[in-house]
Each structure stands twice: as structure tokens, then as C-alpha cells.
Amino acid sequence: MSDLAFIGLDIGNTRLTASAASGDGQLLLSEERAAPGDADSAIPVLLEMAETALESVRATGGRVAGLGLGFGGPVDYARQRTRQSFHSPGWSDIPLAEVFASRLDIPALLDNDANAGGLAEALFGAGRGCRTVLYVNVGTGIGGAIVIDGAVHHGATTSAGEIGHMVLDPHGPPCNCGKRGCLEALASGSAIERMAREAGLALSGREVTAAAESGNATCRDLVARAAHALGLTIANAVSLLDPDIVVLGGGVPEAGDVWWQPLRESFGTYVVPQAQTTPLVRAELGYRAGVLGAAALGMKAAESVQGAPYTVTDRRPSSGRGAIHRAHV
């Protein structure tokens, strides 16, 4: 088992990262390059990066059992094709897993980067040992993943986990998806930035949070409003799913009490009483969630071929919530 490795390709808007990881989530190698402008230029670069990673693993006597692709845009998981990228052209309807599996002759699996990040946190990060993990990534946008028994729950139309596009206010601000008042339009880093602009402040989302932490009353109020909307939505999701833990990744949860306190208050107010004790914790893997998530997809690709799990993580029973002694940040 110890010589087995899984290749992960994280396809971001500005960066491409190739990595190799062991079955217990140790990062063995990682290479990053700037993303070329379109898919036609990016795919040959990704193939070359994957081949280099494969050769590096094999040169040390390791065996690569699978390859995963974490894509920074919507994915048709059932058909293993990209839908589109919101940031670069040419990514529509590409059978990415098939391209890599046939070229490199290893099992390959494609998913979106939020599902990949959630899988990594569930297997190797803040959610390890938990049966059901709700992962929410709060950055420029808001993505999510539901991981049950070490596997992403995709749902009937493979759209499960899209917490960012749950509508809180049908008459609210427009969202990137075309609707109005989605959680993403009310609580993401971009939403905080927009609210600041409406209040006459030319600050980035991160600057608004920093000003709030320094005591600026207007910024404190903006950050609290965003956190309140998120807390309410997570409360509704927890009332429905009853996960063992909620893991919050991305840039916004790096904030301090100005964000976490209103988030917890709102969550506590709106969640069903039985789930009041559900832990809300900060993600542990940071920037590694993307590459480890892609590698974890490689593990899932290998598992689908061999028909049994590679995962070495010990799993606690679902009632083990009380056994999770994790500091609330």
C-alpha cells in the first residue's frame, strides 16, 4: 500500500497544479504553472505536467493507481465532461477524464473543485473521521460539497452541494448564475466588496474584513450581514442534512470573530434544536485542499476499477460527534 500514489490535477482560473499524494493524504510532490488563456493551450500543458508527475513517482519505485481532475467550473459529472469555465474560453463539453485516461493509460475521474476540496477536507482535513461532512468554500464565490462515508454525494442531476445558489431573497442583488438573492450574492467575498462599494467604500472584501477587525463600524456591520446570511443558510442545510460537521474553507473564513461570531449566532438561531451542537470549523488544508482533492479523485478513480476502497482513514460512527474535540475558531 505504501508505494501507491495518486496524481491530482487542479485546474484553476489562473493556475494549473499537478501533484502526487499517498493514500493517507501526504503530498509527495507538487508543481504549479500559470494557466494559459484557453483550453486548447492548457490541456497539452496539463498532460505534460501529469506525465512528469507519473515519471517522478515511478522513478522512486512508486505505483500510480489513478488520476483525478479538479476543475474550476461547472462539470457534468455523470458524463465526465466539463460544462464551461467562467474565466477562460474553450472549456465547453470536454471529456477531460477520457482524454487523460486514454493518453496515460490509468483510471481518471473529473469533478468540480468545490467537490474535490470537500472530499479532501473529509478524508484528510478537518472532517476526517466524520461520516457526513458539509463543506462550504467561501471565497470570491461560494461553493459546497456533501461528503457521505468518504464519497461525494452528487445527487440525481449531479448538482448536489450548490449551497451558493440557494436563494435567500428573490428580490435581492443579481447573482453570477442569473438569479437574484443567492447566498453567493449576499455572503461571498465579492458580495462584501459590492456592499462596501454601495456604502461608498472602495475596498476589497479582504480589506473590508481587516477594517472590521480594526473596529470600523460600517465594515463590522457589512461583515456581520454577510456572515448572518451564511449562518442562516448553513442552519437550513444542517436542519435538512444533519451532518456530523460543517467545514468552512476559502479566504473569507480566515477572518476572526467579526465574521465567526455573527455566523455562529445566526446558525444557532435558525438551526433545529437537536443540531445546535453541530461543529462549525475552519478548513485545515488551506491551499492544499485543491491538489489533495484532485489526488483524492484519483483515489476514487482507482477504487472504481478495483471495486474496494483505498482509503486508510479510520471512520468513527456517526454518533461520534461528541468525540470530536476540535477547537472552535
Q: Which is nearer to Zn ion, 68 or 205 (CB)?
A: 205
Least Cα distance to 11 among 91, 123, 101, 65 occurs for: 91
CB of 173 to Zn ion, least distance (A): 10
Q: Which is nearer to Zn ion, 99 or 177 (CB)?
A: 177
Residues near Zn ion (CB under 5 A):
165, 175, 177, 179, 182
Q: Which is nearer to Zn ion, 149 or 169 (CB)?
A: 169
Q: Phi and psi for 305 in degrees, rounded to 5? A: -80, -45
Task: Beginning with the edge strand found earlier in the chain, give each strand of the sheet holding 4-11 in spatial order.
Answer: 27-34, 15-21, 4-11, 63-71, 108-112
CB of 180 to Zn ion, least distance (A): 8
CB of 314 to Zn ion, least distance (A): 38
Instruction: Compute how many other C-beta atoms are within 10 angstroms of the C-beta atom of residue 287.
Output: 12
Q: Which is nearer to Zn ion, 61 or 178 (CB)?
A: 178
Q: Which is nearer to Zn ion, 27 or 177 (CB)?
A: 177
Helix, strand, coil percentages for the chain (3-state, nearest 5): 40, 20, 35
In angstroms, the CA 68 to CA 302 distance is 9
Grid cell in block for residue 32: 504549479
Q: Kindly give the pairing relationship between strand 142-148 and strand 132-138.
A: antiparallel
CB of 182 to Zn ion, least distance (A): 3
Q: Which is nearer to Zn ion, 45 or 177 (CB)?
A: 177
CB of 184 to Zn ion, least distance (A): 5
Q: First-to-last CA distance in the chain?
A: 35
Least Cα distance to 209 among 162, 252, 249 occurs for: 252
Least Cα distance to 204 among 196, 216, 215 occurs for: 196
Q: Which is nearer to Zn ion, 175 or 203 (CB)?
A: 175
CB of 323 to Zn ion, least distance (A): 37
The gap from C-alpha 91 to its chain's centroid, in whole angstroms, comes to 20
CB of 83 to Zn ion, least distance (A): 15
Contact status, residue 251 vs residue 206, Cβ threshold 8 Å: yes
